[in-house]
Structure 1
Amino acid sequence: MYAFDVVRPKSLDEALAALGEEDAQALSGGQTLIPTLKQRLAMPSKLVSLTAIDALKGVSLEGRELRIGGATPHAVVAAETAESYPALSALAGNIGDPAVRNRGTIGGSLANNDPSACYPAAALGSGATIVTNTREIAADDYFEGMFATALEEGEIITAVKFPVPEKAAYVKFEQPASRFSLVGVFVTKGADGVRVAVTGASNNGVFRWTEAEEALNSNFSADAISGLSASADDMISDLHGSAAYRAHLVGVITKRAVTAANG
């Protein structure tokens, strides 16, 4: 590690002012940033911790919409959405280990946009809205590729709004050491139709499997996608699985997610 300053502002305005200084970087749960600093892949001179800003924490439900503060830890999301959005609760409760779930935050995960992270699938699969200090961004417009998002320099995720669907489920085939997804699929069925979001599989990060969505809109059952196969083009190929293997898993895991969503 190297020497740097850490500040813990108590308000969003204070945090934004600190981030406006030269070579400052936001710190949420730190589950990705701290290892990055240890490897000196990033070397900001000041970290602006968001963990003391109460306005960025908490879960609330208004009608059929969940609002989750950007600095809310995974463990809190899991506990406080168990009744209102069980699929999201199950996803949050199976991220990493207890230490990760109590430190990592939903906003940090979405800002980092790891190609194997779980929350991007939840946001895209739910048709969520990412709220920042300056604007609201639809999930369909937010994710721009591996580790890339629509966030601009100095922009902070303050909350995420999830419309609660009629049916939903998340299933992941995980790498057992890290518990990241080799393939994870979040499926929802709501008033606007079916959404199928896939994480862990593509070099381009989280994506919607539109062919499966079209089939499931006509028949929301695992049988509806039996004849479909995801393309292996641009799929991740590494020591854990080839591109063809991941493409095959997309179909298998999607069927399991649809079955789970149907109860």
Structure 2
Amino acid sequence: MKPAPFDYVAATDLSEALDALQEGGSDARVIAGGQSLVPMLNMRLARPATLVDITRIPELSRIEAKGDQIIIGAAVRQATLESWPDLADRLPLVRAAISWVGHTQLRNRGTVCGSVAHADPSAELPLCLLALGGTVTLRRRRKTRTVAARDFFQGMMSTDLAPGEMITSVSIPARKQGTGYAFREVARRHGDFAIVACAAIARPDGSSTLTVGGVADTPQTLDLPADTTGRDDRLNEFAWHLQARDDLHATARYRRDLVRRLGRTTLKEALSCRD
């Protein structure tokens, strides 16, 4: 199929992009990598009147370290982040997860912020952003606001993004000394959407968090104390709380078992990686 007709704006600066989005309102969409949007256009599941291309805007194509935050612009491709020299040192959780994001061809075109905006509950980058306590910076013509990832993701492919607004960057806290990070995933094939994905963070005091994607409508987090007594019971209760459903890829029971087993393994790995 072919997409419905639309106007195309190849913005060369942020002001031009924001003006086009303001004028288009709810009928305007941003395109950068297009790995999610283009198939939706072709199947006519999305029918925007205007597409605003942001790939020619230099300020949106940067990865910057500012203090303890890593700022990733809206036009930064996943492959660019994957090859960033400081990734393993500054964002070890993202480094562990990013090779699971689609396949090489998709990462060469897809953007980090595009995955965040799409908000697929099985996607790895939104999971990491939420697990690490990251934020999303949103701009419109006369207003900028910053939203915590836990508030930005509102449901399956549903976010706090308003008409006339675009993501300009995401900010992710860098690695903290003495903290361990681990990521594990089960998918039908490497690079497919996760059946269950787990991101674990173990702190110096022994407390930890486990964030799980692929089960609920948004990634969900379990906080665990340093005392490991009853940890398996907590994982079991957490798995039931996620209310997994049967679908084409896995049964609810299989997903619950994965949350328990994969979660336990991921937490142990994070605890062993503390430095």
Aligned residue in 1 for 2:184: 171
Per-residue CA deviation, residues 74-117 of structure 1 (Å, 9 max, x unaligned), is 11111211232122122123211111101111111111101111
Aligned residue in 1 for 2:75: 71
Q: Identity of aligned pairs, percent?
A: 33
Q: Which runs of 5+ in 2 are unaligned?
A: none
Q: Which runs of 5+ in 1 are unaligned?
A: none
Aligned residue in 1 for 2:148: 138
> What does 1:82-231 correspond to in 2, within 5 Å?
82-133=88-139, 134-164=144-174, 165=176, 166-176=179-189, 179-190=192-203, 194-202=208-216, 204-208=217-221, 210=222, 213-214=223-224, 217-219=225-227, 225-227=231-233, 228-229=235-236, 230-231=239-240
Q: 1-side partners of 2:231 and 2:165: how far apart?
A: 39
Q: Per the alignment, in what secondary structure is the counterpart of residue 19 of structure 1?
A: helix
Contact (CA 8 Å) 2:200, 2:210: kept in 1 or not?
Answer: yes
Q: 2-side partners of 1:62 and 1:32: how far apart?
A: 30
Aligned residue in 1 for 2:263: 254
> Is 1:17 paired with 2:19?
yes
1:6 shift after superposition: 2.0
Q: 1-side partners of 2:106 and 2:153: how far apart?
A: 23
> What does 1:30-41 correspond to in 2, within 5 Å?
30-41=34-45
Q: Per the alignment, in what secondary structure is the counterpart of residue 144 of structure 1?
A: strand
Q: Per the alignment, in what secondary structure is the counterpart of residue 90 of structure 1?
A: helix
Aligned residue in 1 for 2:249: 240
Q: TM-score, normalised by structure 1?
A: 0.89
Q: 2-side partners of 1:64 and 1:178: how far apart?
A: 30
> Is 1:26 paired with 2:30?
yes
Query: Of the two structures, which has the highest relative contact order with CA contacts closer than 8 Å and spacing of 6 or more?
Result: 2
Runs of 4+ in 1 over 4 A off after TM superposition: 190-193
Contact (CA 8 Å) 2:21, 2:165: kept in 1 or not?
Answer: no
Contact (CA 8 Å) 1:113, 1:143: kept in 2 or not?
Answer: yes
1:161 shift after superposition: 1.2
CA RMSD of aligned residues (A): 2.1
> Is 1:61 paired with 2:65?
yes
Partner AA of 1:260 in structure 2: E
Q: Per the alignment, in what secondary structure is the counterpart of residue 150 of structure 2?
A: helix
Report the number of matched residues. Answer: 255
Q: TM-score, normalised by structure 2?
A: 0.85
